[in-house]
Amino acid sequence: MNQSFSPRDLGAHAAADDLFTPVHPAAFNAVSPPIFQTSLFTYDSYEAMEDVFAGRTRNFIYSRGDNPTVREFELLVARLEGAEDGRAFSSGTAAITSTILSLVEAGDRVVAVRHLYNDVYRLLVKLLGRLGVTVDFVDPSDHDEVRKALPGAKLLYLENPSSFIFELQDIVALSAMAKEAGVTTIIDNSWATPLFQKPVQHGVDIVVHAASKYLGGHSDTVAGVVVGSKEAIAKINSTSYPYVGAKLAPFEAWLLLRGMRTLRVRLKEHERSGLLLADRLKQHPGIARVRHPAFQDHPGRATLTGYAGLFAFDLTPDIDVARFVNALREIRLGVSWGGPETLVVPAKVALQIPDRMTTFIRFGVSEQTIRFAVGLEEPELLWNDLQQALHAAKR
Ligand SMILES: *Cc1c(COP(=O)(O)O)cnc(C)c1O
């Protein structure tokens, strides 16, 4: 059920949006959707233009607002997530910022899980701080702490599992608590994708994605998307989207639609290789700890119907981090994840970013932690590379 997705789903959602309906038949049943590489749309008469502007008839106007290729991507993600509508952006961060800005105003308070994507942490603390919005960071496993923080808050921000340490959250319990307190719940679902977790089914109001990662899947585009109720997306459309101006380009939307045609098979392979390597690393004497959601006995696992290929491991103190990383031959050093290439990010290097969350170490990341994004290479090749690098880096 959760993994039922076929390339035929592309363009199969005409009923979801009347604006989109005339577009797909015009595509001559092309198996790959066309790119509407246009900034604007024209009208045959004064009356036709006026009808569109007055909302009496629907047509596209300008691609900062709506574009057919972008719309196809938005509706595909909404459909996969079981949400009513969606809005795409030029990055995951733009999607997250615009979503949060549509919900908060000066004097409001946000409750967020204590460990989240670094730029979202900085958005909450720095930009929203300047605008008079405060944040309470909570331990998502401490439900009493969350329950106490929620009354009077505007939104609850989750990531299941969280960035870098892959801490799980019971999104069913947390979103129910938020609902009871009248608080809107947002989750970053980039890790699981809608194939491995459908938060809307579990009570979450709004789902955001760094489409740059698994949805695109080929390390060739930066993009984001948010999905939720028609009302939630309408609010984004009226309060932040047009002015933030961080619209998704038609070509980028086309790359995402292309990438998503293989989402199911890619994720299965990321999952299989990730679990295989996580299991072997766990048994290796050079590894102190593997931070993979499959190894956590936590209720937050219940909403995951599969595991992505992104996790972390801690080297034992007798393995030198720099020497380990420099000894890798197949596996490369680089940020981001979700593409075909296997990548590592040492926490020790990530911590050098100015303003990196000061709480990073306190929540269990050590200087020996390595974030590991398992790509689509033959897993035995990756295992050989890890083994030889661990051997070479032993002090
Ligand atoms: C990369 C990432 C983002 C931000 O996405 P961009 O497209 O880089 O702006 C947000 N959340 C998570 C979990 C990410 O890994």
56 in any annotated domain:
yes
Residue 6 resides in a domain: no
Any atom of ligand 1 within 6 Å of the Cβ of 286: no
By DSSP bridging, strand 224-228 and strand 85-89 are antiparallel
**Does residue 60 belong to any structural domain of this protein?**
yes
**Atom nearest to 213 CA in ligand 1:** 1
Closest ligand 1 atom to 190 CA: 13
State pLDDT tens for residues 205-244.
999 999 999 999 999 999 999 999 999 999 999 999 999 9
Q: Is 115 found in the same domain as 192? A: yes
Instruction: Report the nearest atom of ligand 1 relative to the CA of 337.
Output: 15
For the CA of 116, the nearest atom of ligand 1: 13
Q: Are residues 381 and 248 in the same domain?
A: no
Q: What is the mean pLDDT of the chain?
A: 91
In a domain, 18, yes or no: no
What's the residue count for the chain? 395
What spacing in Å lies between the alpha carbon of 214 and ligand 1's midpoint? 11
Are 195 and 81 in the same domain? yes
* Mutation pick for ligand 1 pocket among 98, 119, 122 (CB with most ligand atoms within 8 Å): 119
Domain check: are 356 and 216 in the same one? no
Final residue belonging to a domain, choices 234, 260, 286? 260
- pLDDT for 92 equals 98
Number of domains present in the structure of the chain: 2
Residue 94 CA, chain-centre distance (Å), reads 12
End position of a domain, from candidates 260, 284, 304: 260
Ligand 1 centre distance from Cα of residue 285 (Å): 33
Domain match, 46 and 136 both: yes
Q: Whose CA is nearest to atom 6 of ligand 1?
A: 92
Ligand 1 centroid to 211 CA: how many Å? 8
Instruction: Judge if 111 and 146 occupy the same domain.
Output: yes
Given a contact cutoff of 8 angstroms between Cβ atoms, the answer to whether 311 and 166 are in contact is: yes
Residue 226 belongs to domain spanning: 27-260
Last residue within a domain, chosen from 231, 260, 289: 260
> Does residue 339 have its Cβ closer than 6 Å to ligand 1?
no
36-59 as b/e: b if 16+ CB within 10 A: beeeebeeeeeeeeeebeeeeeee
Query: What is the distance between the alpha carbons of residues 42 and 59, in angstroms, rounded to a whole number?
Result: 9
Token look-up 């972008």 returns 70
Which CATH number characterizes residue 304's domain? 3.90.1150.10
Whether the bond into 161 is cis, omega within 30 of 0: yes
Residue 10 resides in a domain: no
Residue 115: per-residue pLDDT: 84
What is the predicted pLDDT for the residue at 352?
Answer: 74
In a domain, 289, yes or no: yes
The pLDDT tens digits for 260-294 are 999 999 999 999 999 999 999 999 999 999 999 99
If asked whether residues 187 and 273 sit together in one domain, one would say no
Say if residue 180 is in the same domain as residue 290. Answer: no
Query: From the CA atom positions of the chain, what is the Rg in Å?
Result: 22
Residue-wise pLDDT for 137-176, tens only, equals 999 999 999 999 999 999 999 999 998 889 999 999 999 9
In a domain, residue 53? The reply is yes
CATH number where 131 lies: 3.40.640.10
Write out residues in the chain with pLDDT < 70, as ranges.
1-27, 354-363
Locus of tokens 């020790």:
348
Atom of ligand 1 at shortest range from CA of 120: 10
Same domain? 239 vs 306: no
Give me 301's structure tokens: 């696992």
